[in-house]
């Protein structure tokens, strides 16, 4: 097989005809189908699969569960996302194992191919939910109480999927069994395309966070309410979105985005009573994210006061700056022939794990530079180069006994 053959196997799963691209969210039918595909693919390679208490999938090559080199990514997507963000890392890990097995090579350390649950946070709002639960960065209570857009709690979704609610939570033994983690990922920008290179390693992940902004106004009749004196949260939310951009533009390399808005009650002839808008802020340090948030909230409060609206701010997640393990990253860059180390503005399970386990990333060139959208892509030859590179890295890292 090849990476592109493996991606073709899942190319019809979770297609989103209305948004374009793919919508694959934790424990929805598409994501459950991908879990089945993962199990079949791993078992076809002779790798037994287990689901940990947090819904993460692990396929094991080797008997031991300690000193492991783990590699993988995630299978879920954003709403209307691309085919590569997540699946490329999982598929490449499976293909790398297939390449090594075809050579007759076998690892000295155990190798785990993994797929983490709800990396995008698109259903329950917490990015890297599965890896954060595993390392204990969020509590089971917090996770179980989270609600999706239809009002279904994670607790209910978990039970309906036949998963064990009491198993959710920190998994220190599993974490202690990992000596290294590697995540291969499609690049989410044009750096490699501009450099004319197929592969890079990751140096850093920008600090980032997500906040729900609830803008409260006064619901009323669109026809009988005079224009003056309205307290319209849709008007206020529009000024809020502009404020987010104004503040981000003042700060070099900062990002500020409102990508999701929910209007209550959402009627054409109704002045809304409330708007929830989700704010995503990214910057080069934790403190820059915090100060960008403070400046953004202050400007929004000023703007929406003019509309007679009130703001409530709720932090949904915060992901500190990540600097990947320099020794491991340099070793991998060397194994790949001296590829560059590049930073990213995107979050990854590798970012969560890097605080606990030496972690590195490999990026595969993306000719459009687009991600979180259907135009996300990677050339077939670059995908195969990525899997071969990962196989070379695994041969080196898993070929030596744990120190
Ligand atoms: C996930 O890809 C994110 O960066 O939000
Ligand atoms: Mn993503
Ligand atoms: Mn991803």
| 3-class secondary structure, 384 | helix
Average pLDDT, the chain: 98
Per-residue pLDDT tens digits for 316-334: 999 999 999 999 999 999 9
Indicate which atom in ligand 1 lies nearest the CA of residue 85: 2
Nearest to 218 by CA among 160, 295, 272, 146: 272
- Among 116, 120, 183, name the best residue to mutate to test ligand 1's pocket (greatest count of ligand atoms within 8 A of Cβ): 120
Neighbours of ion ligand 3 (CB under 5 A): 85-86
CA nearest ligand 1 atom 1, residue: 347
Q: Is the CB of 78 under 6 A from ligand 1?
A: no
Per-residue pLDDT tens digits for 339-388: 999 999 999 999 999 999 999 999 999 999 999 999 999 999 999 999 99
Q: Which two tokens stand for residue 75?
A: 């299978």
How close is the Cα of 119 to the center of ligand 2, in Å?
7
Q: Quote the pLDDT of residue 227.
A: 98
- Among 283, 348, 376, name the best residue to mutate to test ligand 1's pocket (greatest count of ligand atoms within 8 A of Cβ): 348
Per-residue pLDDT tens digits for 53-81: 999 999 999 999 999 999 999 999 999 99
Exposed, middle or buried, 219 (CB in 10 Å: 0-12/13-18/19+)? middle
Nearest to 81 by CA among 16, 13, 149: 16
Q: Is the CB of 349 under 6 A from ligand 1?
A: no
- Among 86, 255, 289, 347, name the best residue to mutate to test ligand 1's pocket (greatest count of ligand atoms within 8 A of Cβ): 347
How close is the Cα of 32 to the center of ligand 1, in Å?
21
Per-residue pLDDT tens digits for 210-263: 999 999 999 999 999 999 999 999 999 999 999 999 999 999 999 999 999 999
DSSP codes, 97-156: HHHHHHTT---SS-EEEEEETTSS-TTTS-TTHHHHHHHTSS-HHHHHH-B-TTS-BHHH
Mean pLDDT of 184-195: 98
Separation between Cα atoms, residue 203 and residue 347, nearest integer Å: 13
Q: Which two tokens stand for residue 9?
A: 């196997």
- Among 22, 346, 371, 373, name the best residue to mutate to test ligand 1's pocket (greatest count of ligand atoms within 8 A of Cβ): 346
Q: Quote the pLDDT of residue 320.
A: 98
Separation between Cα atoms, residue 392 and residue 96, nearest integer Å: 8
Exposed, middle or buried, 23 (CB in 10 Å: 0-12/13-18/19+)? buried
Separation between Cα atoms, residue 126 and residue 211, nearest integer Å: 11
How close is the Cα of 197 to the center of ligand 3, in Å?
20
How close is the Cα of 92 to the center of ligand 2, in Å?
17
Q: Quote the pLDDT of residue 5.
A: 98
Q: Is the CB of 346 under 6 A from ligand 1?
A: yes
How close is the Cα of 8 to the center of ligand 1, in Å?
24
Per-residue pLDDT tens digits for 127-156: 999 999 999 999 999 999 999 999 999 999
Nearest to 390 by CA among 84, 34, 11, 70: 70
- pLDDT above 80: residue 393: yes
Ligand nearest to C-alpha 280:
1
Say if CB 286 and CB 205 are below 8 A apart. Answer: no
How close is the Cα of 234 to the center of ligand 3, in Å?
32
How close is the Cα of 18 to the center of ligand 3, in Å?
22
CA nearest ligand 1 atom 5, residue: 347
Q: Quote the pLDDT of residue 354.
A: 98
Q: Quote the pLDDT of residue 403.
A: 75
Say if CB 364 and CB 184 are below 8 A apart. Answer: yes
How close is the Cα of 32 to the center of ligand 2, in Å?
19
Sign of CA dihedral 383, 388, 394, 397: negative
Q: Quote the pLDDT of residue 238.
A: 98
- Cis omega (within 30 of 0) for bond into 122: no
pLDDT confidence tier of residue 402, bands split at 50, 70 and 90: confident
The overall pTM is greater than 0.75? yes
């Amino acid at each position: 097989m090849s990476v592109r053959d493996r991606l073709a196997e899942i190319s019809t799963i979770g297609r989103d005809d209305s948004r374009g691209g793919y919508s694959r969210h934790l424990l929805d039918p598409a994501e459950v189908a991908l879990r089945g595909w993962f199990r079949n693919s791993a078992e076809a390679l002779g790798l037994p699969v287990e689901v940990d208490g947090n819904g993460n999938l692990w396929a094991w090559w080797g008997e031991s569960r300690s000193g492991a080199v783990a590699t993988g990514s995630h299978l879920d997507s954003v709403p209307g996302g691309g085919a590569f963000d997540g699946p490329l890392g999982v598929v490449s890990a499976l293909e790398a194992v297939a390449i090594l097995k075809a050579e007759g090579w076998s690892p000295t350390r155990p190798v785990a191919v993994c797929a983490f649950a709800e990396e995008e946070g698109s259903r329950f709002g917490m990015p890297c939910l599965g890896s954060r639960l595993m390392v204990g960065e969020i509590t089971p209570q917090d996770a179980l109480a989270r609600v999706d857009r239809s009002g279904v709690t994670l607790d209910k979704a978990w039970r309906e999927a036949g998963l064990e609610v009491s198993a959710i939570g920190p998994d220190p033994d599993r974490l202690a069994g990992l000596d290294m983690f590697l995540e291969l990922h499609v690049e989410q920008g044009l750096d490699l395309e501009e450099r004319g290179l197929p592969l890079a390693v990751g140096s850093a992940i920008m600090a980032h966070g997500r906040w729900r902004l609830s803008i409260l106004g006064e619901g009323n009749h669109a026809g009988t309410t005079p224009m003056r004196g309205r307290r319209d949260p849709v008007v206020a939310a529009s000024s809020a979105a502009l404020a987010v951009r104004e503040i981000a533009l003042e700060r070099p390399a900062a990002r500020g985005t409102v990508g999701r808005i929910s209007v209550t009650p959402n009627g054409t002839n109704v002045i809304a009573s409330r708007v929830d808008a989700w704010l995503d802020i990214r910057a080069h340090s934790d403190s820059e994210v915090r100060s960008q948030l403070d400046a953004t909230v202050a400007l929004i409060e000023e703007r929406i006061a003019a509309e007679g609206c009130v703001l409530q701010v709720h932090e949904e997640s915060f992901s500190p700056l990540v600097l990947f393990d320099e020794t491991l990253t340099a070793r991998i860059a060397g194994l790949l022939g001296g590829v560059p180390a590049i930073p990213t503005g995107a979050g990854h399970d590798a970012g969560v794990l890097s605080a606990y386990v030496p972690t590195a990333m490999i990026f595969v060139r993306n000719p459009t530079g687009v991600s979180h959208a259907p135009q996300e892509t990677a050339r077939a030859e670059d995908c195969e180069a990525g899997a071969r590179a990962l196989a070379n890295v695994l041969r080196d890292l898993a070929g030596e006994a744990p120190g």
